[in-house]
Amino acid sequence: MDNDKKIFLLDRSVSQMLAEEKTKPLLHKIFFTKIRLCKEVRYEKSPKNFLKIVKSGAQFTQTATYHKIDRKDFRKAKAHAKGHPIRKVRYRFQVEGCTVVVDAYRRQLKSLYLLEIAAECDENLHALLHNPMLSKYIREDVTTDPRYEEKYLALYGNPSRYPYTIYTIFRKIENGKLASLDTVIFPEMKGADAIRIILCQKQHTLLTISQKAVKERAITHDAIERFIAQIEDMSQLFDIFELLFDPLTLQRTRSHLRKFMDIHRTYDDLIFIQNGFEKLRHKLDEDYLQRLRTNLEERITGEREKIVRYFTSREYRIVMRQLELLIKEKSRSYNSYESQLPLGYRVKIEQKRVFGNLRELTDLLDGCNDENSYRRIDTALKRIETFVALFQPLGLLTLKPKTLHNIEKVRQCMEKHTYRTKMLLFLRMLSSETASLGKEKSSKALLKREAKMIRKERAFPHKLYRKLHKVPL
């Protein structure tokens, strides 16, 4: 919002008062051809002239230049308008010795009324807000709410069409009464509120799984995988939207989440080895294979019991409490300008950053032929997949089917690489053990399988590099 005036949202019943006033309203037509966080190009038709207004710079250091244009240039620029053109009728009133302005918006912004009080009237602000003519219509102060800036009104419409109280939504999630996120999340809402709602639902899922495991004193493989999927999604959201959270609390929460991921990593490796035995059963002696299976099953059972014990620990309760505080307690971060941007615009900004990171890796890693490069690409892909999975169903993100198809191809390529890397370690360990036990036939079969996998892995960097360049970002 402009720093030289106060903006207040008015109740729609003010229309009756405006209709009774004898002041002559002035019609304004506005549209934008460029809408960015630090730059906007706005065209305005007032009763007196046509204007082109260019604003650039951050919120508090913004500069504006005004250019008079003719009707022809105005119409020509309108063909490149972003979002919906804005029409508003402007009323001017003398109240408490000050001139105040009421903007009554039309068309797609119908029923939106905003009161503007200039900075010169700050001394009389208290008297203005308690004046009988205005006070009964004022709903809230939206001076620092960017959703009511006209560029965002043009893109996303009237934010007050969908009134919500975030703590009411939190209670619905906790009571299991929220069927789907798309019923409470919409493009006009504050970005920070939307992310908190998504995190709250995921935290509720974590608590549901852990409480069931503690009650039954056991946990299934599917429940562990669902639990980890929620944690991974939360970790990606923290990385993407880290500016929206208190840094110290976020750092502590991340460290606790990483600890559980380490516990799961051991369990996941054991499951991988178990599946590996099934694929190698024709290359190993039956008695040796049976002994390995028995030992492995005992270790997997022990890891599942360890996870259930972790759910009953004091540390786990502290983690859940910190997570709840991070989501529900309002910090200074939630009141920042960026956190209050409309969700639709917040998602567009992050989409460019998330996809741009993969493009940067593609251009700079020159064939992606070292393990650090693979990890960075894998992280970038997971971030993209989480981003798409969360925001595409909400209608906030549109991607070409070809882009999604190519991303899936790159993901499959990376999964094959991860599988081969783990399998090579497993084969080397197993072949050395069988050789030490004198099982030459099994050892030779495993070495042959290992050599075949190494040949495939040598061709992997070139294959991955080609697939990354096919992703149209």
- The whole-number pLDDT of residue 365 equals 65
Q: pLDDT category, 138, cuts 50, 70, 90?
A: confident
- Confidence check: pLDDT of 207 > 90: yes
For the packed helices 314-328 and 247-279, what is the interaxial angle rounded to 10 degrees?
130
- The whole-number pLDDT of residue 201 equals 94
Domains 5-161 and 164-341 share a fold: no
- The whole-number pLDDT of residue 395 equals 85
Q: pLDDT category, 41, cuts 50, 70, 90?
A: very high
- Confidence check: pLDDT of 123 > 80: no
Provide the greatest CA pair distance for the chain.
104
Q: pLDDT category, 154, cuts 50, 70, 90?
A: very high
Instruction: Give the number of other CB atoms < 10 A from CB of residue 154.
Output: 22
- The whole-number pLDDT of residue 194 equals 92
- Predicted confidence (pLDDT) per residue in 245-254, tens digit: 888 888 888 8
- Confidence check: pLDDT of 428 > 70: yes
Structure token pair of residue 117: 């009080």
Among 103-107, 259-263, 416-420, the least confident range? 259-263
Residue with tokens 């260019």: 54
Q: Tell me which architecture the domain covering 164-341 has in CATH.
A: Alpha solenoid (1.40)
User: Domain boundaries in the chain?
Assistant: 5-161, 164-341, 343-473
Phi and psi torsions of 165, nearest 5°: -120, 120
Residue type at 445? A
- Predicted confidence (pLDDT) per residue in 448-470, tens digit: 888 988 888 888 888 888 888 87
Residue type at 236? Q
Q: pLDDT category, 332, cuts 50, 70, 90?
A: low
Nearest partner of 237 among 323, 311, 299, 335, judged by Cα: 323
- Terminal CA-CA length for the chain: 32
Mean pLDDT of the chain: 86
- Predicted confidence (pLDDT) per residue in 49-97, tens digit: 899 999 988 766 788 899 999 999 999 999 999 989 999 998 888 877 7
* Rounded-to-integer distance, Cα 464 and Cα 444, Å: 31
- Confidence check: pLDDT of 21 > 80: no
Instruction: Give, in order, the Cα–Cα distances in Å from 245 to each of 193, 199, 254, 412.
Output: 11, 12, 12, 33
| Beta carbons of 117 and 128 less than 8 angstroms apart | yes
- The whole-number pLDDT of residue 210 equals 94
Tell me what the mean pLDDT of segment 297-301 comes to: 91
- The whole-number pLDDT of residue 22 equals 65
- Predicted confidence (pLDDT) per residue in 399-413, tens digit: 888 888 888 998 999
| Beta carbons of 198 and 390 less than 8 angstroms apart | yes
- The whole-number pLDDT of residue 59 equals 67
DSSP letter assigned to residue 48 = S
Among 157-161, 173-177, 306-310, 365-369, the least confident range? 365-369
∠ CA 308-389-381, nearest 5°, is 90
- The whole-number pLDDT of residue 257 equals 85
Share of the chain above pLDDT 90, in %: 30
Tell me what the mean pLDDT of segment 169-182 comes to: 89
Q: Can you give the pTM of this predicted structure? A: 0.88
- Confidence check: pLDDT of 200 > 80: yes
| Beta carbons of 100 and 121 less than 8 angstroms apart | yes
Higher pLDDT among residues 156 and 20, named by residue: 156
- The whole-number pLDDT of residue 9 equals 92
- CATH no., domain 5-161: 2.40.320.10
- Confidence check: pLDDT of 10 > 60: yes
